[in-house]
Structure 1
Amino acid sequence: MGRYELVTLFAGAGGLDLAARDLGVPAVGIEWDTHVCATRRAAGLVTEEGDVREFNPSDFPAANVLAGGPPCQTFAIASTGTGRRDLADVLHFIQRVKMCEDVTAPLAQLNDERTGLVLEPLRWALAAVDSGYPYEAVVLVQVPAVLPVWRAIGEVLSAEGYSVVSDVLKAEEFGVPQTRRRAVLIARRRGMAALPKTTHQPYHSRVSATPSDPPLPPCVTMGEALDRPEPFHIVSNYGAGGDPKARGRRTSAEPAFTVTGKIRRSQVLAGDGSELERLTFAEAGQLQSFPVDYPWAGPDQAQQIGSATPPLLATHILTAALL
């Protein structure tokens, strides 16, 4: 892998940075949450504490790769959906940014200021282009609802000489023991951008898997990821809308549901139906593909884990972007 160095916006607990470290790529992450920064520093990740809006590419002159995962709360299905409702405005703002307009004031008028943060990576990328030192690659990860934003940003980057690809990836197809879908953008200054190739079969709950060519191993299960006696079941309230009858259930022979900040609410049942100890923070992190001894810190550990990009998925994405 060539000489790269990342600057990661909205760095979170370190999924992208941990992947970069595993690939031998230096990285510095910008993160505003004090507790998240404590986790990152305990993990040995270089961290700049602060608001990404108060920084610029010139503050990180050694970085030639831009990565990030803006806050997803307003776009996520489990949220109030203000970001999804403001999507048309966000797409309009992208066109205004393309025309070199300052959209700081109108972005502040959105229903939730976190929605506008999804445009920060574009501001950074264009500022780097204007400086004469464009990023060699741009990598962005968010919830699936943001894919139209990534595609619109991709059009702007294409006009600046980047090869761009974007789509929704399934985490279990890359060895993560969890079904988690993420909208991904990869832009490359040199060479053709391409998404990573899957390494595992997709999860199918009620239908038989279609044979792959070449044959791929089945997705990784909770039983394989966690050091717990099998069988066990996870009963989740994710997507249940408060209705206990709608709660999903998966066995230890399946990957987990999407890990969210409410993971500790999920019940864990033994094969005979008796209730077991609920997932620990370490186990929730493992389902996100973090090491079992990852040093989660602070009172909001579940939220940190649920908001993180799975390092294993990030490794495949960064490898595709940088090779």
Structure 2
Amino acid sequence: MIVDLFAGPGGMDHGAALAGVPSVGVEWDANAVATRVAAGLATVHGDVRRYGPADFSDATVLAGGPPCQTWTVAGAGAGRAALADVLDAVKRMGARETVDPAVLGDERTGLVLEPLRWALEAADAGRPYEAIVLEQVQQARQVWDAYAEVLRAEGYSVATGVLRTEQFGVPQTRRRAVLVARLNGPVALPEASRRPYRRGVAQSAGDSRLAPWKSMGETLPDRGPFTVISNYGTGGDLKNRGRRSSGEPAFTVTGKISRLRLVDPDGRDLPRLSPSEAGQLQGFPTDWPWSGGDISRELGNACPPQLAAALAEAALGAQPAGARPALAAA
């Protein structure tokens, strides 16, 4: 069984189910908990800092995606500014020194240390996790690399890297820093089943051994042709608004997805994405029961289930045959 920290609306848990592994999630946000309960997912509504391995004695796999707001380039960057202190804290935790997360400033930055606390507590109790799966925005890659050094000293085989979600069947471009670790036996990152998206490159182009990436139009066929207009990263400058057609993957799904404009081929405004449609662009089933009062935030914080399934399979040694590497350039 997997214990999923910062479980959100259920992306990792649904992905684990796709990989045939049961899970229980720990989540503090009431909105995400409402969605999880509606989806029938085993859930503990609480703060991961108040729990530990002893509270989930049946779990043999640890998973988690700590909050990304202080790490992403779209945020204030407190996590990136505190990177040196975070890396030092990881090293000290590996040496079993006491670390006060408060020294890292924004408490969300300190939450990136929680999966390591759980892993080390389990090891010290003589019941180490058999496998570990972690994911975050790509700016956290160095943190996972520091984790890897500590986990290898604990006897784990570890792989880290940055993966592109469109290469795992998610109809959006999203890069995630990931870590997979296994206690008994070698481990490798999951390998791609689909080609990477390149702007201006045809969907049919690329490695013939890999399937094409999936477009928004394939995911939302009832919409007909449309263009998405995004102001992500524009600084408010209307001239810099990005555009993608329905024949391309979506932009990265964030908590601002409800602000995206959709227009038809003649430039006329279309209805905004519904929660179900936005969820499908994040890789969730059509009928996922989005609940709570801040669904856009839930969507932006979710781990795409297809990526979660691939990570779980890699950590547990169930890598599909014939796949190709999906690493992005570091």
2:95 is the alignment partner of 1:110: no
Tell me the equivalent position of 1:226.
Answer: 220
Deviation at 1:229, TM superposition (A): 3.6
Deviation at 1:320, TM superposition (A): 1.0
2:211 is the alignment partner of 1:211: no
2:42 is the alignment partner of 1:64: no
Tell me the equivalent position of 1:27.
Answer: 23
Q: Deviations over 1:47-71 (max 9, x none)?
A: 0011101101011000000000000
Q: Aligned AA for 1:24?
A: G
Q: Which aligned pairs between 1:171-182 and structure 2 lie closer than 5 A? A: 171-182=165-176
* 3-state SS of paired residue (2:269): coil
Tell me the equivalent position of 2:87.
Answer: 91
Tell me the equivalent position of 2:250.
Answer: 256
* 3-state SS of paired residue (2:221): coil
Tell me the equivalent position of 1:138.
Answer: 132
Deviation at 1:269, TM superposition (A): 0.5
Q: Aligned AA for 2:49?
A: R
Tell me the equivalent position of 1:241.
Answer: 235
Residue 229 to residue 27, structure 1, CA distance change in 2 (3 Å): closer
Q: Which aligned pairs between 1:299-314 and structure 2 lie closer than 5 A? A: 299-314=293-308
Q: Aligned AA for 1:168?
A: V
Tell me the equivalent position of 1:156.
Answer: 150
2:276 is the alignment partner of 1:276: no
Tell me the equivalent position of 1:38.
Answer: 34
Q: Aligned AA for 2:269?
A: E
Q: Deviations over 1:195-233 (max 9, x none)?
A: 111011100003568732x52121000000013343210
Tell me the equivalent position of 2:184.
Answer: 190
* 3-state SS of paired residue (2:71): coil
Normalization by structure 1: what TM-score? 0.95
Q: Tell me, yes or no, if the aligned pair for 2:4 and 2:62 is still in contact at 8 Å.
A: yes
Deviation at 1:293, TM superposition (A): 1.0
Q: Tell me, yes or no, if the aligned pair for 2:67 and 2:112 is still in contact at 8 Å.
A: yes
Q: Deviations over 1:238-257 (max 9, x none)?
A: 11111111111000000000
2:259 corresponds, among 262, 265, 272, to 265
State the distance in 1 between where 2:273 and 2:165 align: 20
* Greater mean alpha carbon deviation, residues 20-29 or residues 42-51: 20-29
Tell me the equivalent position of 2:280.
Answer: 286
Structure 1 unaligned blocks of 5 or more:
none
State the distance in 2 between where 1:159 and 1:109 align: 25
* 3-state SS of paired residue (1:88): helix
Q: Tell me, yes or no, if the aligned pair for 2:216 and 2:248 is still in contact at 8 Å.
A: yes
**Identical aligned pairs, as a percentage?**
56
Q: Tell me, yes or no, if the aligned pair for 2:86 and 2:104 is still in contact at 8 Å.
A: no
Structure 2 unaligned blocks of 5 or more:
318-330
Tell me the equivalent position of 2:77.
Answer: 81
State the distance in 1 between where 2:77 and 2:276 align: 30
* 3-state SS of paired residue (2:299): helix
State the distance in 2 between where 1:215 and 1:25 align: 28
* Greater mean alpha carbon deviation, residues 65-74 or residues 240-249: 240-249
* 3-state SS of paired residue (1:312): helix
Q: Aligned AA for 2:71?
A: F
Q: Deviations over 1:157-197 (max 9, x none)?
A: 00110000000000001110000000000000111111111
Deviation at 1:312, TM superposition (A): 1.0
> RMSD in angstroms over aligned alpha carbons?
1.2
Q: Aligned AA for 2:257?
A: I
* 3-state SS of paired residue (1:200): coil
Q: Tell me, yes or no, if the aligned pair for 2:28 and 2:47 is still in contact at 8 Å.
A: yes
State the distance in 2 between where 1:149 and 1:156 align: 11
Tell me the equivalent position of 1:9.
Answer: 5
Tell me the equivalent position of 1:167.
Answer: 161
State the distance in 2 between where 1:23 and 1:97 align: 31
2:313 is the alignment partner of 1:319: yes
Equivalenced residue count is 316
Q: Aligned AA for 1:45?
A: L
